[in-house]
Structure 1
Amino acid sequence: MRQFTAIVNPTAGASTSVAALLQVGRLLREAGAELETEYSRSLAHAQELAREAGGRGRVVLAVGGDGIVGGIGGALSGSDALFGIVPAGRGNDFARALGLPTDPAALAKTLLHGEPSRVDTIEVESAHGRTVALGSVYAGVDALANRHANEARVLKGAASYYMGGLRAVTTWRPAAYKVTVDGEELDHRGYTVVAANSAYYGSGRIIAPDARLDDGLLQLVMISEAPRRLFFTLMNELKTGAHVNRPEVRIAQGRQIRIEADREVPFGTDGEVDAVLPVTARVLPAALAVLR
């Protein structure tokens, strides 16, 4: 029977995270599994707790949204530790990419009996240091929208991302990017550049429909300069991934993607936005063992 260590951030969506863990945790214990809970003081502390628990051979559960999921998963990347997720955030995009069930009973069954599966992660290198992300690196208006969503006090979930997007687009002016994909330079002017390991970002929006977590590649999505009314249409098409069929959207793929711009442009990873370009994203094939 598996032994679990759940890590919760009590300062970020604490009530939702604790409620989700209580439901799933009761089912794990009823099945005979051992579950211990750790409350982190910060993301760095959560990562420290995760490495320690993984080193003891325990299944490490990230309880919360994409920020703590990405931080803990990144900390375990490259190790033999087994990673599980109890989704309890606004976006839950990496859990969605893994196909995890939302029903507590079905999720508990996955955590108890699911077979480990190895997925790729992303090494992210910038002037701010080196980190490891799970879902994507995005640089442009979507990073600014994510920042606005994180600052939202009233709206939650997809609504906060949508309103954050509206606020960002009204003030955004297209940037001139230089994107280098496995040594090949691409010039781009527009709204954003996304290096995606997962198909999803921004609370279920399908930014990169062809992205796969286990193919050893990053999908590159570049949205070009366009009238604002067309960009709002593109935002709406992210619900289905239909935007990739438009001429304003350019798609490529590679193992290493460097993104630069002609001015200060924010970039984000897994829901966290606290850095600016340039940034280099490298795929780390089969670096993380997950339950799905």
Structure 2
Amino acid sequence: MTGPTFLLAVMNGRFIGGGMEVTPGARIDDGVLEVFHVAPLSAVRFLRIFSKVFAGRHTDLPEVDIRTVSSVRIESVTAVGHPVPPGPPSWRSTGPVLHGDGEPLGMLPATVTVEHGQLALLDDGRRP
């Protein structure tokens, strides 16, 4: 995916932002990621289609592209065609910040990868 972007999210689940079902086909246990890309759209168009996202009914819109990947490299180029310099993440950063669940994690460029079966869970042995 290349070109102007309104929103880009790399997903391992279906929901972001308090209930928006941006990738309705995503499963947290399938060993893949979904890349959710929204091309630029006008404010009027955004307002018309925004409610569809909460029900996962936006996936066939021309502005939306969802792809399944095991790894994705995210880069940003400024309007003049120069790469944005890396630096410490901050809400006030002048370059694009990589966020994870709303928290700044680092600056772009970044590579996001999923490794199937790598989440370790602890079980205290008690059953409900």
What one-letter code is carried by the residue in structure 2 that aligns with 1:213?
I
Q: Distance in 2 between matches of 1:260 and 1:234?
A: 27
- The equivalent of 1:78 in structure 2 is none
Structural mapping, 1:34-53, within 5 Å = none
Q: Distance in 2 between matches of 1:243 and 1:233?
A: 11
Note closer, same or farther for the CA distance 1:227–1:257 as it changes in structure 2 (3 Å cut): same
Q: Which runs of 5+ in 1 are unaligned?
A: 1-185
- Whether 1:200 and 2:15 are equivalent positions in the alignment is yes
SS in 2 for 1:219: strand
CA positional deviation for 1:206: 0.6
- Whether 1:222 and 2:37 are equivalent positions in the alignment is yes
CA positional deviation for 1:278: 1.3
Q: Distance in 2 between matches of 1:197 and 1:261?
A: 22
| Runs of 4+ in structure 1 over 3 Å off | none
Q: Distance in 2 between matches of 1:247 and 1:284?
A: 31
CA positional deviation for 1:286: 1.4
Q: Distance in 2 between matches of 1:282 and 1:217?
A: 9
Structural mapping, 1:1-292, within 5 Å = 186-263=1-78, 264-273=95-104, 275-290=106-121
Q: Which runs of 5+ in 2 are unaligned?
A: 79-94, 124-128
For residues 18-46 of structure 1, what are the alpha-carbon distances to aligned partners after superposition, in whole Å with 9 as ceiling and x for unaligned?
xxxxxxxxxxxxxxxxxxxxxxxxxxxxx
Contact preservation (8 Å) 1:190, 1:226? no
What one-letter code is carried by the residue in structure 1 that aligns with 2:3?
H
Q: Distance in 2 between matches of 1:229 and 1:243?
A: 16
Q: Distance in 1 between matches of 2:66 and 2:55?
A: 16
Q: Distance in 1 between matches of 2:57 and 2:65?
A: 13
For residues 121-175 of structure 1, what are the alpha-carbon distances to aligned partners after superposition, in whole Å with 9 as ceiling and x for unaligned?
xxxxxxxxxxxxxxxxxxxxxxxxxxxxxxxxxxxxxxxxxxxxxxxxxxxxxxx
For residues 225-265 of structure 1, what are the alpha-carbon distances to aligned partners after superposition, in whole Å with 9 as ceiling and x for unaligned?
11111123333221111111101101111100011111322
CA positional deviation for 1:189: 1.3
- The equivalent of 2:91 in structure 1 is none
Q: Distance in 1 between matches of 2:48 and 2:114?
A: 31
Higher helix share: 1
SS in 2 for 1:243: coil
- The equivalent of 2:82 in structure 1 is none
Q: Distance in 2 between matches of 1:253 and 1:234?
A: 23
Q: Distance in 1 between matches of 2:105 and 2:73?
A: 18
What one-letter code is carried by the residue in structure 1 that aligns with 2:16?
Y
Q: Distance in 2 between matches of 1:281 and 1:229?
A: 32
Contact preservation (8 Å) 1:205, 1:241? yes
* RMSD across aligned positions (CA): 1.7
- The equivalent of 1:7 in structure 2 is none
Determine which structure has more spread, i.e. the larger CA radius of gyration: 1
Sequence identity (%): 27
CA positional deviation for 1:274: 5.0
